[in-house]
Amino acid sequence: MRKILKSLFGGSAEARPVVEIRPQGIRIELEPGETILQAALAQGVAYPHNCTVGTCGSCKTHLTEGKVKALSDFGYTLTMEELAAGYILACQAVPRQAITVVEIADLCADLPPRESFAGRAVSTAALTHDIVKMVVEADRPVKYVAGQYATFHLESMPRGRNYSFAEAPQRSGSKTLTFFVRKVPGGRFTEALFAGKLAGHMLRVDAPHGNFRLRPGEAQMICIAGGSGLAPLLSVLEDMRKRRVRRPCTLLFGARTQRDLYALDQIANLAGSWLESFNFTPVLSHEPPASAWTGARGWVTDFIAQHGSNLVQAEAYMCGPPPMVDAGISKLVELGMPLERIHFDRFTDGPPDGAAVVPATAAA
C-alpha cells in the first residue's frame, strides 16, 4: 500500500532502510524512525508481539546483519545470554543501516486470530494460600494454542491483566476457560478476585496472546515451572497427552514450601498415562529444615543437571518468575543446550495502580 501511494502521489525517492526477515524471506521497507515491528505490522506481516513497549519479550528477534538503535534498553527484558547471542526486541529497534537482516523462529500466521470476548467470572477455587483456579465463561468459543494467554479488562482498571490458559484447548474452541491466578499484594485485580468481589461480574477478554507453545519434534523435554507458571505447562502437557504425542519429559516444579505445591494429582495422572518416560520432581526452596519433607530442596534450576549433563539435542520449556527463568537459561546453556531450543514465558507482576477494584456493573 505504501509503494502504491508513493507511485500515485509522488514522494521522496530517497532509499528507505530495508529489513529482511529470515528464514521466511520477507523484505520490508521502513519509514524514518520506524521500528522493525511497526513496519512489519504496517505491511501485513504477522510478526510475534504483544505489549509493543519492550517489556513482554514476545518480539524477541535475532539480529544477524546490520546495526540497530535501541529505543529502550534491551537488557530490561532479554537475558545476558540472549544479548550476547545478538538478540534484540523488534518493537524497540530502529535500523541504522540500509540493509538489516533478522531471524525469527516462526511467524504468528498459523496461530488463532486475536479477538475480544465478553466473559463472566463464574467461580474460583483455592489451589494454595495465594493461588486460585479462576473459571471464566465466555460469550462464544475461544480458540487458542496450548501455552498462550488471555488479557482481562475491567472498566475501572486502566491496565489489562495477563493470565495463561491452564487447560488443553478444544479444536472448536471453548467457552469455559480456566486460569491459575496468583495473588499480588496491592494488585487491583487479584485483591478483588481473592476478596470475592469479581464473582459473577463481566470482563472483557482479549485472546489469544503469546508465542509460547510446543515446537514440533521428538526431543527430550525439560519443563520448569514456578508458582502459577505451572498453568501454561499443564496446558501444553495435557494437550500432548490428548494428541498422544510421544516425547520423554522431565517436569521440575519450584515452590517455597509444601503449602505452595498444587496440582500434584493431575501431574501424577499425566505421568501414569504418558507414552514415554515422565519424571516429576518438586523442589522446595524455603521448607523448614525440621519438617518431614524428604524431597528435593533448594533452587529448582539446580536440579536440571540431574536430567542430563549434555542437553544439546533436548528442548526446554520454562514458565515462572524472571529470576527462575534467567537462572534456568544460564544453567541450560552451561549444559550445552542451544539458546534457540529454550522456550520460556516470564511471569511478571505489574505495578499496583490504585485502590481496590469495584466493578462498574454487575452481571445481568
Q: What radius of gyration do the chain's Cα atoms show?
A: 22
Distance CA 149, CA 147 (A): 7
CA 12 to chain centre: 41
CA–CA distance from 232 to each of 130, 235, 259, 310 (Å)?
Answer: 18, 5, 21, 26
Q: Are 67 and 96 in contact (CB under 8 A)?
A: yes
Report the residue count for the chain.
364
Q: Which CATH number fits domain 221-346: 3.40.1000.10, 3.90.550.10, 3.40.50.80, 3.40.50.970?
A: 3.40.50.80
Backbone angles phi, psi at 344, to 5 degrees: -155, 160
Neighbours of 145 (CB within 10 A): 20
Q: Which CATH architecture has domain 115-209?
A: Beta Barrel (2.40)
Distance of alpha carbon 155 from the chain centroid: 25
Strands 249-255 and 278-284 come out as: parallel
The pLDDT assigned to 156 comes to 74
Q: Is 233 left (phi over 0), alpha (psi -120 to 50) or beta?
A: alpha
Closest CA to 63 of 123, 30, 22: 22
Q: Dig out the grid coordinates for 263 from the structure.
A: 496440582
pLDDT at residue 223 above 90? Answer: yes
Mean predicted confidence (pLDDT) in 81-104: 93
Does the predicted model carry a pTM greater than 0.85?
no
Give the pLDDT score at 4. Answer: 33
Q: Contact at 8 Å (CB) between 179 and 166?
A: yes
Q: Where are the domains of the chain?
A: 2-103, 115-209, 221-346
β-pairing, 202-209 vs 149-153, is antiparallel
pLDDT tier, 44 (very low <50, low <70, confident <90, very high otherwise): confident
pLDDT tens figures, 315-330? 999 999 999 999 999 9
At 350, is the pLDDT very low, low, confident or very high (cuts 50, 70, 90)? low
Q: CATH homologous superfamily of domain 2-103? A: Beta-grasp domain (3.10.20.30)
DSSP bridge partners of 182: 131
Quote the CA–CA distance of 78 and 80 in Å, as a whole number. Answer: 7
Question: What pLDDT is stored for residue 58 in this prediction?
Answer: 81
Q: How would residue 351 be classed by pLDDT, with cut points 50, 70 and 90?
A: very low
Asked if residues 211 and 58 have their Cβ atoms less than 8 Å apart, the reply is yes
Gap between the Cα atoms of 189 and 172, Å rounded:
29
